[in-house]
Chain A
Amino acid sequence: MDAIADTIFTDLPTTDELTENPSLLTVVFEMSPNSWHSIKDQISIQDAVKALIVFLNTHLSLNNSNQVAFLAALPTGARMLYPNVKKADDSQETPLVKAGMYRHFRLVDDTILREINRELQLLLATDSEAGAESSTLSGALLMALAYTNRMLHIDQSISTTTASAISSTTSAAASGSGNDHTLGSSLLQTKMSARILVVTANDSHESKYIAIMNSIFAAQKMQVPVDVVKLGALDSPYMQQAADATNGVYLHNREPRGLIQTLSTAYFVEPCLRSLIILPTSANVDYKASCFVTGKPVDIGYVCSVCLCILSTIPELSKCPVCKSKFDDSIVAKLRRGPVLVRKKRKIEGAENGSAAA
């Protein structure tokens, strides 16, 4: 009996990281009105936020020192909604969530709901603004990484930098607002793990390719998995790459009504447990490059050696359309030339041989 049990347990990979490390969950919620409008029959923003709040609360309840952060990528810019550093004036306002709730939940939920309402009202006020199409997801992602970086590395040695020296002296002033919960946690000495969850319904954020790629590489370096919930009609190739490169989970959810179900099954697994669990992964990630000029996917392309832009065809002027440097004529001529048939030569040889033989 013991022997059987032994083999079962030794078959598992070593799980020394399975200690009770706190973990940081950063949610990046893309709130571009157009994309949510296009899927309004399936899910509303309210339902999605409800699901996310349940998800955040579950994360908080797992470990006492777990942390969450919530960012919104709005058409007006990326905002950090929780933790919030604005001066707390909401003590008089009526709470949006039940007062009897566990305090940590209440702080998080209340702040997030309040901030989302405020942002949506702002959005209404500044309606008809240009740039409703553009996405600030890259900015939110970069911000999330900057925050994660601080929580992972700097926070632990923060007693020597500006932060805690200042925050300890001004903590009296800052207390009372909800933010001292996270900002004052600099005494935390344990190792933290972190992950980022991106919830997006946007079908077009191709414009900020470099920023998204750079944030993917940064996340890879920091070993922060980027999980992606893609709602809406189309796959998002860049977010797919982000999840694939960082060992995150990418799911294209076409039936978002059961969002909380998806969140709590596929996305709830801590990064350190992921080696033990078979997760839904997309087998064929499209790493295909796209042409900088036409935007079409490229199989065989031409790359400018100065600015590394990818071109599907060599432009007529043999000049790089991005950096304006002129291409080498001889190389361009060589590339433009079609394949040369060698058979012709052989025929001549054969003819000569034949004539010689005759």
Chain B
Amino acid sequence: MDSDEEFVDNGSGKELREHLLSPEPDGTSKRTRSKVAITSLKGANGGYSWEDEYQRPWEIVNNKAEGEQSLVYLVQQMIEARKKKILKNPTTPFQRGIIRTLIVIIDGSLTMLEKDLRPTRFGAMLNLLGEFVDEFFDQNPISQIGIVMMRNGVAQVVSEVSGLPEHHKDRIRGLKARQHGRIEPKGDPSLQNALELARSLLGSNFGDPSLGSSKNSKEILIIFGALFTSDPGDIHQTIGALAKEDIKVKIIGLSAQVAICQEIVAKTNFLSSSQTRSLGLSRHYGVIMNDAHFKELLMDCVEPLAVTKESPEAKVEDTQGVPVIKMGFPLKHSISSTTTNGLVNPNFPALCACHPTRGSKDLMEPVSVIQNQNPSQSPGATIGYVCPQCHSRVCQLPIVCPVCGIMLILSTHLARSYHHLVPLMEYIEVPVSAQYDSSHCYGCLLQFPNGSEDTLKGASSRYRCKKCSQDFCIDCDVFVHETLHNCPGCESIPR
């Protein structure tokens, strides 16, 4: 901070220098003087205008310390303000692409060895990616992910497109373990190569071309650490092709904004007019500030994208209507329950139709055996599902039936996505007053602070549902909107 200000002092114009030379009778510190000198750059918060979004809690405390305000109260308010910031879920229902195919392009170039994130950018990215995969499949159970790495000028598939979180996490773990060997970040990144590879991966749609291309939302997420790309051809052609196939690209930059990235994002998200451009750019192209912000940006990609009106797909839909998908809801078939002698035999193996070639390149093993794939859930491994159309048995869901091609899912998979489609209405903060109707949080029975005579200070700490007018504390507000997705008050009203 100090060195910055010195630089400004030295570099600024004549007026400032005169001001510095003039004697200060009251002997104020240098810091105050320099602040006086550059008032034009100041924001509302007392800092520079570009620092406005960062609060300076210590200053708030200082300013109000004279007053009778207690420190505890301020800390409370700050925590609530922070939680309010975390809680920013959309409340207007959108049509969203629920069935998603997402290709994550990770940067494996030399710049990823920078140590501005711990342990390195690469390591930090892989750690967060593991969490991302978990969260993604929790929120989007009928979606798929593929992972591509840009390294040494080429793009390579790290983990092919699949709907199994364990599969991806294994590959990510493998990448982490071999970091110091072959897979160490190396060379230059090539955006064009990676985008072309991702495009071809997205072309194979749930392994089944007959499903058509219009049903799922195709997305690419690039985590880009470098500030350049070395491409074999014209990247603009690739961008055009992506836009034509309605593949949406999101980018998280680890160092700074890059012009080509802006163009990719703008073109593929159809941000043509200048107004939507600036707004959309900030939503689809973010540059991280720190570790926490990286995670925040990454987790933003978990939420399914709204179907945009600008995209040609939407225009086509206006005339043709939305697709309807035929799906099978298979019966759970527990093998242990079928043993005739009544003994529970949880490790009894059975055949499944969905892994004909697993683990063997030369098809030595035409049908694989369901064994304990992951010891963590050993009872689950012997559970099979029977396709209602062709009665072949598969070992996991969701999947496209390998025999008859129908999409097999559980009703719970659909139910998991409902809250994206029917978001819960936001709670509104109750204005400060001397008297409140409620004394306790409706959800957790937490006691609210009493109303105070001085209506200017403090907060009511109550958040009211507009529908059922019950009051909730901030913790319940966050919990209800992020985890429950249903208002306990509204559900308690008999219908």
Contact = CB atoms under 8 A, between A and B. Distances in A.
Tell me if B's interface is mostly helix, strand, loop or mixed: mixed
Task: For chain A, give the interface size range.
Answer: 35 or more
Nearest to B77: A162
Contacts of A161: 76, 79, 474-475
A211 B487 CA distance: 9
Interface stretch (B165-173, B175-183, B354-362, B438-446): B438-446
Contact of B492 (A139, A284, A305): A139
Interface string B417-451: 11101100000000000000001101111111110
A142 B491 contact: yes
A217 B492 contact: no
Nearest to A76: B494
A320 B325 CA distance: 12
A299 B388 contact: yes
B484 A142 contact: yes
A291 to B, nearest CB: 11
B182 to A, nearest CB: 35
B324 interface: yes
Nearest to A85: B440
Given A160-B76, A214-B418, A331 B439 contact: no
Contacts of B493: 77, 136, 139
Interface string A152-186: 00100000111101110010001000010001000
Interface string B314-347: 0001001111111111011010110000000000
A108 to B, nearest CB: 15
Nearest to B324: A327
A296 B369 CA distance: 35
B439 A85 contact: yes
Nearest to B72: A165
Nearest to A245: B412
A304 B445 contact: no
Interface stretch (A48-56, A193-201, A251-259, A307-315): A307-315
Interface in A280-329: 283-285, 287-290, 298-308, 310-311, 314, 318, 320, 325-329
Interface string A121-148: 0000000000100101011101101110
A150 B321 contact: no
A221 interface: yes
A71 B479 CA distance: 19
B303 to A, nearest CB: 16
A241 B412 contact: yes
A83 B473 CA distance: 17
Nearest to B329: A289
Report the interface size class on chain B: 35 or more
Contacts of B73: 165
A111 to B, nearest CB: 13
B415 A166 contact: no
Contacts of A146: 443-444, 476, 479-480, 484, 488
B32 interface: no
B350 interface: no
A329 B99 contact: no
B337 A283 contact: yes
Interface string A62-89: 0000000000000111101001010000
A45 interface: no
B415 A213 contact: yes
B360 to A, nearest CB: 32
Interface string B471-487: 00111100110011111
A304 B334 contact: no
B261 to A, nearest CB: 31
B277 interface: no
Given A139-B488, A150-B476, A210-B418, A162 B332 contact: no
B205 interface: no
A213 B325 CA distance: 22
A306 to B, nearest CB: 5
Contacts of B326: 300-303, 335
Interface in B392-416: 406, 410-412, 414-416
A215 interface: yes
B461 interface: yes
A136 B419 contact: no
Contacts of A118: none
B478 to A, nearest CB: 10
B98 interface: yes
A149 interface: yes
Given A138-B491, A328-B320, A85 B445 contact: yes
A104 B410 CA distance: 45
B495 interface: yes
5 contacts: A150-B446, A284-B334, A299-B328, A301-B327, A308-B414
Interface of A: 75-78, 80, 83, 85, 131, 134, 136, 138-140, 142-143, 145-147, 149-151, 154, 160-163, 165-167, 170, 174, 179, 183, 207-211, 213-218, 221-222, 241, 245, 283-285, 287-290, 298-308, 310-311, 314, 318, 320, 325-332, 335
